[in-house]
Structure 1
């Protein structure tokens, strides 16, 4: 869990947004100012949803929010990939209508990540370990997150050059896998005291 959860958090494709959003918007035909403003809009939407997630997580439950977020990450990636594959090509630009649609879809994607995998990947891994191994588990969690983040930061531009629009389908595949992983393997920890976490795992 301390390896898989942070690994899946990074394979949501959030690196597309956090590192290369201005470049992506330039690629689809937006000007420099519009690209930077689009990145600010996407980031602001994500920040607002992170706060909301922390307010509702104890009422809705961790697994439910993971599932909602997984769908909200998957669907925009598929649609954006489809738009860019069909309308952009290798050297084209998108019309203003399609550019706005991509911006809205990226906001929806950012909201889905910020509602679920953004904060919950840290929250759940801080809850699920028995007290005896919590510090070791969290250390592995942080190290894995930084390592995968580093790998994507170093390889993303090369992946984008080779995959082109299919980069969105690549990350969409991971969204399916990580949502299935939560559904099958991660127990619900809502309202479970840390002292009883070992019992939850035995029953699960």
Structure 2
């Protein structure tokens, strides 16, 4: 712990960048969570005339939630398409503007017409898609390798804090406000405040040195790296800059200047497989379904009243926040990625199979607003223990892993494919979850439990990345052998030192 605190103090500029960039994930978490709570409010259901037919109501509710994912799917592609022209810093500003506009439209919607809600969700989703693809790359490219896992996991903490704020905002409005439009407008309006914070923070951070290097702006890259590393010795800065230079030169030599086609190289295609696989299985854990429709989930186990369901959902997000803090302070720096993923998959599979079995054998009692039976309390406990497993494994580590494994020249494209994959499956889950609950009931949890069992096998085969620099990923995935990389680094170190000596002689 002391060593980690020392590293955080030494690299406080990189910590600051991670904090600002991760704020975007707070709005990401808020946006993806808020709809599930708002559509559970009676004021929203009455004003927008949601049908009393359960199937039609589930369809409309799923549209409100799923449209954000559809916008995010296309937004995730933006960093890859604009990376040659727009840096990480400016793109954060642009994403914040989309999220501000989307939040404004949702807040100012005029019942009973739901079109502004739909439009605002798509626009907000577009901004969320940008930051979901951009933020892990941005943090990975600015963080020192000793802290990369920790700083990238800030995104998960921000995401779960955003989710927690969303549910408690809805619960507070449900409890203390009358069933008028104010009850659902206030939760939607908090998106605007978070968007403004992200917009302001985007002007305070430095550009990614690796993005600058990719644009052949080496002087700016060196200055940005020096600012980020603070008290780091000159030799360490030269070594890191030489690693970046060596990797980019190797990629150019190997691909004759190509960029996106490099994804089709065997070693890079393998990375795409791992990245997409970990994203699909992260959705398949079932956490997305619970996060988007927590009130519906708790209703399925017997918490049928509006406030009991929202309260249980709020406690659910608080458990996530507490466990995420434990993950950041104790686990991510001391355990391998694989071991945490294996633990999480195993625990989640056990809990979901148990939940499904209990729902089958001890269904909740009709006409009770809170399931206070022993089986009901056990079902509640399985969900809370389940979320512990997710929060120390697939939740944060899926974003960490995909943000760090791709080479500099194609990181934007690789990240875009992985993030578009997760948003596509998020769309599927968010659109069909209400209908799945209606048709499969307890078997839904058996389905998600099976996905976690598959995730356990997947994690066994996953290459370990903890403790490696971004440039060392090429060695791990076999794109270049270790001896060649070492010689290239030494060559660039020699050039750097020679240039420094010449500048000194000229009095520069």
Fold match (TM-score > 0.5): yes
Are 1:194 and 2:470 an aligned pair? yes
- Which residue does 2:333 correspond to in 1? 58
Correspondent of 2:308 among 29, 34, 56: 34
Contact 1:69 1:116 in 2 (8 A): yes
Contact 1:43 1:110 in 2 (8 A): no
Work out the number of aligned pairs and report it: 202
Aligned-residue offset at 1:3: 1.6
The whole-number CA distance in structure 1 between the counterparts of 2:300 and 2:460 is 36
Correspondent of 2:289 among 16, 34, 53: 16
The whole-number CA distance in structure 1 between the counterparts of 2:423 and 2:415 is 12
The whole-number CA distance in structure 1 between the counterparts of 2:349 and 2:283 is 14
The whole-number CA distance in structure 2 between the counterparts of 1:70 and 1:22 is 24
Q: 1:118 to 1:191 in 2, by over 3 A?
A: same
Correspondent of 2:396 among 119, 124, 128: 119
Gaps of 5+ in 1: none
- Which residue does 1:129 correspond to in 2? 406
- Which residue does 1:165 correspond to in 2? 442
Aligned-residue offset at 1:58: 2.4
- Higher RCO, Cα 8 Å, sep 6+: 1
The whole-number CA distance in structure 2 between the counterparts of 1:91 and 1:176 is 32
Contact 2:275 2:401 in 1 (8 A): no
Are 1:46 and 2:323 an aligned pair? no
Q: 1:35 to 1:90 in 2, by over 3 A?
A: closer
Contact 2:301 2:379 in 1 (8 A): no
- Which residue does 1:81 correspond to in 2? 356
Q: 1:16-36, CA deviations, whole angstroms, 9 ceiling, x for partnerless residues? A: 321222122223322332221
The whole-number CA distance in structure 2 between the counterparts of 1:129 and 1:4 is 15
Contact 2:289 2:429 in 1 (8 A): no
Range with bigger deviation, 157-166 or 73-82: 157-166
Range with bigger deviation, 125-134 or 190-199: 125-134
The whole-number CA distance in structure 2 between the counterparts of 1:176 and 1:200 is 26
- Which of structure 1's runs of 4+ aligned residues deviate more than 4 A? 89-95
Contact 1:50 1:118 in 2 (8 A): no
SS in 1 for 2:467: coil
Range with bigger deviation, 30-39 or 108-117: 30-39
Aligned-residue offset at 1:61: 1.1
The whole-number CA distance in structure 1 between the counterparts of 2:364 and 2:372 is 13
Correspondent of 1:69 among 316, 323, 344: 344
Aligned-residue offset at 1:47: 1.8
Give the number of the structure whose alpha-carbon radius of gyration is greater: 2
Q: 1:15 to 1:172 in 2, by over 3 A?
A: same
Correspondent of 1:178 among 455, 458, 466: 455
Q: 1:154-204, CA deviations, whole angstroms, 9 ceiling, x for partnerless residues? A: 1112212221101001001100111211211x111111111111111129x
Contact 1:58 1:191 in 2 (8 A): no
Gaps of 5+ in 2: 1-273, 482-508
Q: 1:46-81, CA deviations, whole angstroms, 9 ceiling, x for partnerless residues? A: 122223223321211111110111112111101100
